[in-house]
Chains A and B, each alone.
Chain A
Amino acid sequence: MEVLVAVSVGILVACAVYLLLRARSFSVVFGLVLLSYGTNLFLFAMGRLNTNQVPLTSMPGPYTDPLPQALVLTAIVIGFAMTAFVVVLALRARGILGSDKVDEKGSDV
């Protein structure tokens, strides 16, 4: 299972880097989304991959670590808000600059 998770994170991040390096805002936003997926999966795996173990120390062990889940939840919320913002910004840039190229000069008005 470790190999599967590691490979998934790797593929997600590799696709994200490829998309981020393209100069169109849609690909870049898509790349950012994939990057945050990869990051979240990585963060989640940092509590080690366990099945059928309790997160509560008041019960008999062995235990699993619940903290990465709390971290990843925070990261998901923040990543979601940021993605929403960057989508709006990309749309606005498309409108104002007249192109979806990220380096578009546009006319300074």
Chain B
Amino acid sequence: MNLLLVLPVLLPLLSGAALLALARPALLPARIVSVASVTAQLAVAVALLTVAADGTIVSYAVGDWPAPFGITLVLDRLSALMLTLAALLAFFALLHALGGTDQKGAGFHALFQFQLLGLNGAFLTGDLFNLFVFFEILLIASYTLLLHGGGAARTRAGLHYVVLNLVGSALFLLAVGVLYGVLGTLNMADIALRVTTLPAENAVLIEAAALLLLAVFGLKAALVPLHFWLAPAYASATAPVAALFAIMTKVGAYAILRVYTLLPGTEWIAPWLLWGALITLLVAGVGLLASRDLRTQVAWLVLVSVGTLLAGVALFNSAGVGGALYYLVHTTLVSGGLFLLADLVGLQRREGSQLVSGEYPAARTWLGVLFLVGAAAAAGLPPTSGFLGKVLVMQAAFDTPVLPWLWTVILLGGLAALLALARAGSVVFWKSAQIPAVAPMPWLRSVPAAALVSAGLWLAVLGGPLAAYTAATATQLLAPQQYVSAVLGEGGPAR
């Protein structure tokens, strides 16, 4: 069963390498390998989810080097949830890409697999330096995926994205260096143990490393003031790539959760995170109202979700983290779906996805209904999962001094989303002229978009079990003792 733990890393690695070999000659074999690999990853992720669901933590020592000396892969509830989410999102994004995006440039399928390799690895690894390596893998794949299709807007956004992330990687290395220099270990469970026995004069170095890591993860999560890259990059990427990138900001949130729950004595990070998240929400609300293109708007929606999510995480109580994780699942799927939907709308209007009145998109009833569901979920209207997620996060702030701030800002963010999306919907679907549409409706390509957008409904139907799972995840995260003993064995490492 422990071997199952390596599969989410091995599957995309092997299929990505195979795809590199056959990328140029034929499209069909590449598509078959790619879809088969993602389907298998989804199956493995679901299998791992059932393993982790009862609260067991499984660890796998790569190369049979015992922790803390070798690299460990660790599966707990959080990693299983993130793996499943990534595989589900990737599955639908890939289906959409089969509609023609994968022909716009070379190597799309191989890069898609390497992106998944980085994501899955980052969710599974129990070693801080290995986390850096998987971050680099997912980043270099994302650089090239972002530029897929070419063009001036993509190149410009890509250059900013690449330079910012390279600086982020350097900061990550500095933080890793400080932690290793002080603690002499990089295994996250071992770090958690050794910090407790640290002489007091070194505590300030740990604080410096923790803040450096916050900058790195904040950059990945697009926390204000490190958010400038997000909107241009996501708005200019091709639709399936933008949909897959919906989980990239969540990698930052995942890393924040993983590292700061394992690092004792870093509770002072919570206010930084909370205020950063609330300011992010406000900035995102303004950006949302100011954007004049449907795709830019969805990109700002991603930032709204980052703010809400990190505000929940920053409470660092089990209700807050549990609610934030429920919201994370909802927002990843729905914003991924909205990116695909915006692409479909753009394909059928001469004005593209710009928010100016022009032609009706063909099949505007079908697309309009999908947009309504997605917009209601993204803005957090009942009975969708967005509403449930926000209620869970806001409930968690009861009995904390930040209650008025958190409620006001989250509700303001919801209001901004509601206004912006209502305006966008009425311009695109109602205020348009009665001209026959330019392009026929690609019905097949609307299936993945429909599946993802409707997550707003079926996640609400599954709300009970999912919220119970995320609440259990939060409890597990906030009691890191179990994680530590699962990795190092009872009674700490053998030295």
Residues of A within 8 A of B (CB): 20, 25, 28, 32, 35-36, 38-40, 42-43, 45-48, 65, 67-68, 71, 74-75, 78, 81-82, 85-86, 89-90, 92-93, 96-97, 102-109
Contact A39 to B174, CB < 8 A, known contacts A46-B181, A97-B155, A106-B152: yes
- Name the interface residues of B124-177: CB closer than 8 Å to any CB of A: 129, 133, 136, 140, 143-144, 147, 150-153, 155-156, 158-160, 162-163, 166-167, 169-170, 173-174, 176-177
Point out the residue from A71, A81, A89, A107 that lies within 8 Å of B129, measured CB to CB. Answer: A71
State the CA gap A71–B169 with chains docked (Å). 14
- Name the interface residues of B82-134: CB closer than 8 Å to any CB of A: 129, 133
Q: Would you call the interface of chain B mostly helix, strand, loop, or mixed?
A: helix
Q: Which residues of A have CB within 8 Å of B133?
A: 74, 78
State the CA gap A94–B147 with chains docked (Å). 15
Chain B interfacial residues counted at CB < 8 A? 30
State the CA gap A93–B184 with chains docked (Å). 42
Judge if B180 is at the interface, Cβ distance under 8 Å: yes
B43 to chain A, nearest CB (A): 31
Query: Would you list 16 pairs from A and B whose C-beta atoms are within 8 A, ordered by A residue?
Result: A25-B159, A39-B174, A42-B174, A46-B180, A68-B180, A71-B177, A74-B129, A78-B136, A85-B140, A85-B143, A85-B144, A89-B143, A93-B155, A97-B152, A105-B156, A106-B152
Point out the residue from B150, B162, B176, B177 that lies within 8 Å of A86, measured CB to CB. Answer: B162
Contact A89 to B147, CB < 8 A, known contacts A43-B177, A96-B152, A102-B160: yes
Q: Which residues of B have CB within 8 Å of A38?
A: 170
- Most chain A CB within a 10 A radius of its CB, from B140, B147, B167, B178: B167
- Name the interface residues of B162-202: CB closer than 8 Å to any CB of A: 162-163, 166-167, 169-170, 173-174, 176-178, 180-181, 184
CB of B167 within 8 A of CB of A89, answer no
CB of B166 within 8 A of CB of A71, answer no
State the CA gap A30–B408 with chains docked (Å). 45
CB of B159 within 8 A of CB of A108, answer no
Q: Which residues of B have CB within 8 Å of A43?
A: 173-174, 176-177
Cβ-Cβ contact count across A and B, 8 Å cutoff: 93
Residues of B within 8 A of A (CB): 129, 133, 136, 140, 143-144, 147, 150-153, 155-156, 158-160, 162-163, 166-167, 169-170, 173-174, 176-178, 180-181, 184
CB of A82 within 8 A of CB of B152, answer no
State the CA gap A29–B160 with chains docked (Å). 12
CB of B162 within 8 A of CB of A85, answer yes
State the CA gap A85–B184 with chains docked (Å). 33
Q: Could you list 7 further interchain pairs (A-B, Cβ under 8 angstroms) beyond the known A20-B167, A32-B170, A108-B153? A: A36-B166, A36-B170, A42-B177, A78-B136, A82-B169, A96-B150, A107-B152
